[in-house]
Structure 1
Amino acid sequence: MSVYSTIQSRKFVLTKEEADYFANQDMKQYVNMIAMHRNQNTKDFAEDRETYYYEHGEHPCCPYISPYTVGLRAFANIISTFVSDKKCQMIDIAAGSGLLGFEMKKLGFENIDGLEPLEDMINMQISGIYGKLYRELISKETPTSIPTGSYDCAVVGAGIYAGHIEADALPEIIRYVKPGGFIILNIGDYWYRFKQFGPALETKLQQCLETGVLETVIKQRTIYMYNCDDANVYILKKGSNKIIENGIE
């Protein structure tokens, strides 16, 4: 039977260093500073993205604590809770600089591939995180070259939101996963409030449950990575006998 359940608790513990960081930071000021930098210095940001991400804790080699590193560590811990087999075949979609993959490696996951369309983001990734890397866009209109049923688990750390990977691309992501496998998504409340995104995602999830494409949808509250606001993590279990080809059952 298809199941849709919600976990309201945010089971995540900050390290002492993280707690000290947030006790001494004005998070609103931090987020406003990031927005100002991106809006006023778009050209500089595009030309020196690696330096920017390093300075703001969005790079695997950055030693600094930031909302981004804490949020992705929280997400990685949730993934590890539901996916116990650390040797499973996993794909990190919208892998970016590789920070989520880096956190997953620290938790013991051994076989992680990535999908990321931007070359300058790929250039930031440190070696040893991803096995195979697909440089491709993902959407309903542009199915990728990833073979159907290639992975035990697909994760998306900060790639599904309005204007980026939209809700209608969900069947394409599900297609990558073996029957009975997991699809785990992290979506901040800020993006979820967009009328054209939040309801569309919920509708798509309900359709997948009703048709048996998904067996289970669990929604858990956690910390998001941009400003440690609230977020939903969706833990989706693919139907045991369902195969999706090119986004179509």
Structure 2
Amino acid sequence: MATQRNTAQSRGVFVTDAELGGSYTTAHVGGQNVRQSMLNVSFQGTSDQIREYYSGLAEFYDEYCESVGKESGAHNMAKIIERVQPSKNARILDVACGNGILGEQLKTLGYTDVDGLDFAQGMIDLCKSKGIFTNCICASIDPDKKTPIPDNTYDVVCMNGSMGVGLVTPKCLPELTRIAKPGGVVVFNITAYWVKTVAEFGDEAMAANLRVLVRDGLWTTWVREEHLYYKATGEKAVAYIGTVA
């Protein structure tokens, strides 16, 4: 019962195996194709339904990440962070931290003060059980509402693979910037699926958003890079690094 996918930002759309292509249909965990179900809930779900879905996903999300080689994306993001903020005492916030896969990579590199934030309580509980983060914060990143974090708190605000329809959007970038210190960095990536499928996350739209941040005095500079995200499929991600004014 498939309908054609609308590549604008509408919901009520079912993403089929055929539309995803064979490379996306290999990661079946818990009897379902996890990547497909994540996309379906993003297009179809309300914010509460999406939150509940990800909370329930926590019990087998580690297995999913391993099956698709998501560690590659986290490793590459951690290396970017190490390059732009080499101090291992830096305060870092991992936004939409999920199962803590990026936090684990940062810990391996020697960072000692990393907090994790996620809107799904199940993911937060999973991270607490692993002891990855200094603090675990269950909260959403909302463009119209501040998170319970003071201004100018973190040297690095980072996010790995969490931009997409129904998740974190470019409208949230001012809020991510608010909680970063002046001179700090905001680092995030967007998987190739969203870059190619939804105009809001494409190169042209993202460049326009980031130019506005510079124009409005929130950022001083930004750069764009690409790196491997899913090792199993070879899918890349586009990374953006912004310096906070």
TM-score where L is the length of structure 2: 0.75
Aligned to 1:49: 57
- Cα root mean square deviation, aligned: 2.6
Q: Which has the higher contact order (CA 8 A, sep 6+)?
A: 1
1:233 aligns with 2:239: yes
More helix by share: 2
Q: Which deviations, in whole Å up to 9, do the C-alpha atoms of 1:179-214 show, x marking residues without a partner?
A: 000110011122122113334432220111122211
The 5 Å alignment of 1:1-249 reads: 29=22, 31-34=24-27, 37-38=33-34, 49-56=57-64, 58=65, 66-125=68-127, 126-193=129-196, 194-198=198-202, 199-225=204-230, 227-239=233-245
d(CA) in 2 for partners of 1:47 and 1:140?
22
**CA distance 1:40–1:159, change in 2 (3 Å):** closer
d(CA) in 1 for partners of 2:162 and 2:211?
21
Secondary structure, counterpart of 1:123 in structure 2: helix
CA contact (8 A) 1:72 1:225 kept: no
Gaps of 5+ in 2: 1-20, 42-52
d(CA) in 2 for partners of 1:175 and 1:108?
26
Aligned to 1:244: none
Q: Which deviations, in whole Å up to 9, do the C-alpha atoms of 1:158-180 show, x marking residues without a partner?
A: 21223210111100000001100
Gaps of 5+ in 1: 1-27, 59-63, 240-249
Which amino acid is the alignment partner of residue 124 of structure 2? I
- 1:144 Cα offset (Å): 0.7
Q: Which deviations, in whole Å up to 9, do the C-alpha atoms of 1:145-168 show, x marking residues without a partner?
A: 110001111000121223210111
Q: Which deviations, in whole Å up to 9, do the C-alpha atoms of 1:103-145 show, x marking residues without a partner?
A: 1100111100111111111122144311122111112122211
CA contact (8 A) 1:89 1:152 kept: yes
d(CA) in 2 for partners of 1:174 and 1:124?
27
**CA distance 1:173–1:93, change in 2 (3 Å):** same
Aligned length: 205
